[in-house]
Amino acid sequence: MDDKIFVVGHKNPDTDSICAAISYAYLKNQIEKTDRYQARRAGQINEETDFVLKYFGKESPLYMPNVGTQVRDLTIDDVEGAPDNVTIRLAWDYMSESGISALPIMREDGSFEGIISDTDITRYFMDAYSKTIMSEAGTKYYDIAETVNGEVVVGDPEEHFTEGRVIVGAASPENFRQYIHKKDLVILADRADTQLTAIEEGASAIVICLTGEVKNIVRMAAQSAGTTVITTKFDTYTVARLINQAIPVKHLMTKEGVVCFKEDDFVDDIRETMSKLRHTSYPVMNNKGQYVGMIGSANLLSAKKKHVILVDHTELSQAVDNLEQAEIMEIIDHHRVGTVETINPVFFRGEPVGCTCTIIYSMFHEYDIEIPKDIAGLMMSAIISDTLLFRSPTCTPRDQVAGLALAKIAEVNPGEYAKQMFRAGSALGNKTPEEILHQDFKKFIFGETTFGVGQISSMDTDELYDIADKIRPQLEVEANKSGMSMVFFMLTNILDEDTRLLCYGKDAGEVVKFAYNTDIGEDGIAFLPKVVSRKKQLIPAFMGALQNG
């Protein structure tokens, strides 16, 4: 992720936005001989664009609605998980050597099970008054021997201490008999009589201190009674202090309610969680739920901004969410310069042509990069879409030259292809009014006024009327939901080169009347002959009306 640069268009992307992202990412990768440039989409693709992608065998770009800093953009500490049967002693040693304050615990299959922190361990030793905690934890005899730097000399090291107390046999054999219980684990000095007494009283195990040897009589008695014998050269005080560190971490670890973060989580969200819980470390999981590492509050300082290239827009209101948290590397656009701001100087290419892909077509030639058939098809489709098959007033000679040249590379007849593409784009029978409105919808801010304009283009007049009846009530819903004072929707007839404009908002009538010297009908529709372009005809006229009050 570190070296990736994402090429992304605007929200509610149209064909130019998607095709420009794919084509420009391809061009940049060819120029730099890399694969670091990746196309993304900031919204759902519409039917027209879906038709284009399928026609030329291209996958839809991955969805990226937000470019805010995520957990995956942080330095994630590579903390290897420990098995749940590792001892507290080994866990503590590993944490101390690694300088970490929490250790993830894993199951045998490698999946995340829980977590143990240095706080859990210190709290355990401060509060460990129970003499049965080692048997309750099912501590393995091998782990007990390892923890006290000893050896199992009688019995099976893989067996577990599962019943009884841990006691120190410091009394004489006579007094000791009154104190010991069956199944206890007894810590003893190097006295054969006391050792034999513990075995006779049914001890599960004995730990013999200050020696590495066991007298034959003791060994034989232990074997006969089934008592495990561990020897160590440590004294009884040291063994008594260390032995509780032999219990497995699964007995102390936090298993329920562990707060984990996902790589896709946004830093703004996890920062709030961290401030509330104040844990030292948190596990991080990937999309498959697999453990990948640990992060803490200090890791937030390592956040790396995403690198993005914007195509087909310069309006912040149209841009992917949290754009201010990303680093904009380039902007390629054919609209007016909007409200997007950058911290550093960037490569900006804005030209007064009808389509972003026309600019990208020129750049292919400038860099002498051959245009593949599928990429040519995408760019041609974007130009046809944005210029309404060269009929729109936004269309320039450059758009037409580029569109026809790309059609030749793509081996399609632009006129026949356009009919199929526009027909696919206006086939909206299964879509909800909200989906139709947002198929190609842009929000604009002018002074204190915020308004939105959607557009559908079709070659079928009856189909446009059907869409009008379906979408008219949705304008009010969208205005109330998004806090816009006015919402408009253009129903553009490609063949007749006119638009029926659906309008909502208390000032909508005044804006339309000032801009086009026409009134909105009782059905909420204004007829605009020879108006087909939102960018070049509608928006400038509306801006002029708003500027003049």
Helix (H) / strand (E) element for 230: namely: strand 228-231
Phi, psi of 498, rounded to the nearest 5 degrees: -145, 170
Residue spans of beta strands (DSSP E) within 16-169: 37-41, 62-63, 82-83, 102-106, 112-117, 139-140, 151-154, 160-161, 166-168
Q: Which of 495, 496, 506, 500 is nearest to 527 (CA)?
A: 500
* Residue 491 bridge partners (DSSP): 456, 500
CATH number of 433-547: 3.10.310.20
Any idea what DSSP says for residue 249? G
Tokens in use for 375? 């990429």
390 Cβ neighbours under 8 A, 6+ residues apart: 384, 399, 400, 403
Residue 210: per-residue pLDDT: 93
First to last CA, the chain: 48
DSSP state of 440: G
Give the pLDDT of residue 535: 84
Q: Rounded to an integer, what distance in angstroms lies between the CA atom of residue 83 and that of residue 104?
A: 9
Helix 15-32, helix 356-366: angle, nearest 10? 20
pLDDT at 129: 66
Listed residue (247, 228, 231) closest to 156, CA to CA: 228
> Is there a contact between 209 and 239 (Cβ–Cβ < 8 Å)?
yes
Beta strand 282-285 with 291-295: parallel, antiparallel or unpaired? antiparallel
Q: Exposed, middle or buried: residue 163 (CB in 10 Å: 0-12, 13-18, 19+)?
A: middle
- Determine phi and psi for 378, rounding to 5 degrees: -65, -50
Cα dihedral 471/477/478/481 (nearest 10): -160
Q: What sign does the dihedral 242-248-251-257 (CA atoms) show?
A: positive
Asked if residue 139 lies in contact with residue 90, where contact means CB atoms within 8 angstroms, the answer is no
Q: Are 299 and 62 in contact (CB under 8 A)?
A: no
User: Closest by alpha carbon to 244, among 325, 322, 377, 144?
Assistant: 144
User: Is the alpha carbon torsion for 297, 301, 304, 305 positive or negative?
Assistant: positive
Give the pLDDT of residue 98. Answer: 87
Residue-level pLDDT at 464? 81
- The domain defined by 5-69+306-425 carries CATH number 3.40.640.10: no
Would 5-69+306-425 and 88-251 be classified into the same CATH topology? no
pLDDT tens track of the chain, all 549 residues? 458 999 999 998 999 999 999 999 999 999 999 999 999 999 999 889 999 999 999 999 999 999 999 999 999 999 999 999 999 999 999 999 888 889 999 988 888 999 998 888 888 887 666 788 899 999 999 999 999 999 999 999 999 999 999 999 887 777 888 889 999 999 998 889 999 999 999 999 999 999 888 999 999 999 999 999 999 999 999 999 999 999 999 988 988 889 999 999 999 889 989 998 888 889 999 988 899 999 998 899 888 899 999 999 999 989 999 999 999 999 999 998 988 989 889 999 999 999 999 999 999 999 999 999 999 999 999 999 999 899 888 899 999 999 999 999 999 999 999 989 988 887 766 778 888 888 889 889 888 899 999 998 877 777 788 888 888 899 999 999 888 999 999 999 888 889 999 999 989 999 999 999 999 988 889 999 999 989 889 999 999 999 887
Contact 28, 50 (CB under 8 A): no
User: Number of helices and strands (H, E) in the chain?
Assistant: 19, 24
The fold of 88-251 is 3.40.1390
**pLDDT at residue 1, as a whole number:** 47
Angle at 142 between CA 136 and CA 148, to 5 degrees: 90
Domain boundaries, the chain: 5-69+306-425, 88-251, 433-547
> Is beta strand 441-446 parallel, antiparallel or unpaired with respect to 82-83?
unpaired
Distance between CA atoms of residues 471 and 453, nearest Å: 13
List, in order, residues 6 or more apart from 174 with CB less than 8 Å away.
Answer: none
* Rounded Cα–Cα distance for residues 466 and 303 (Å): 50
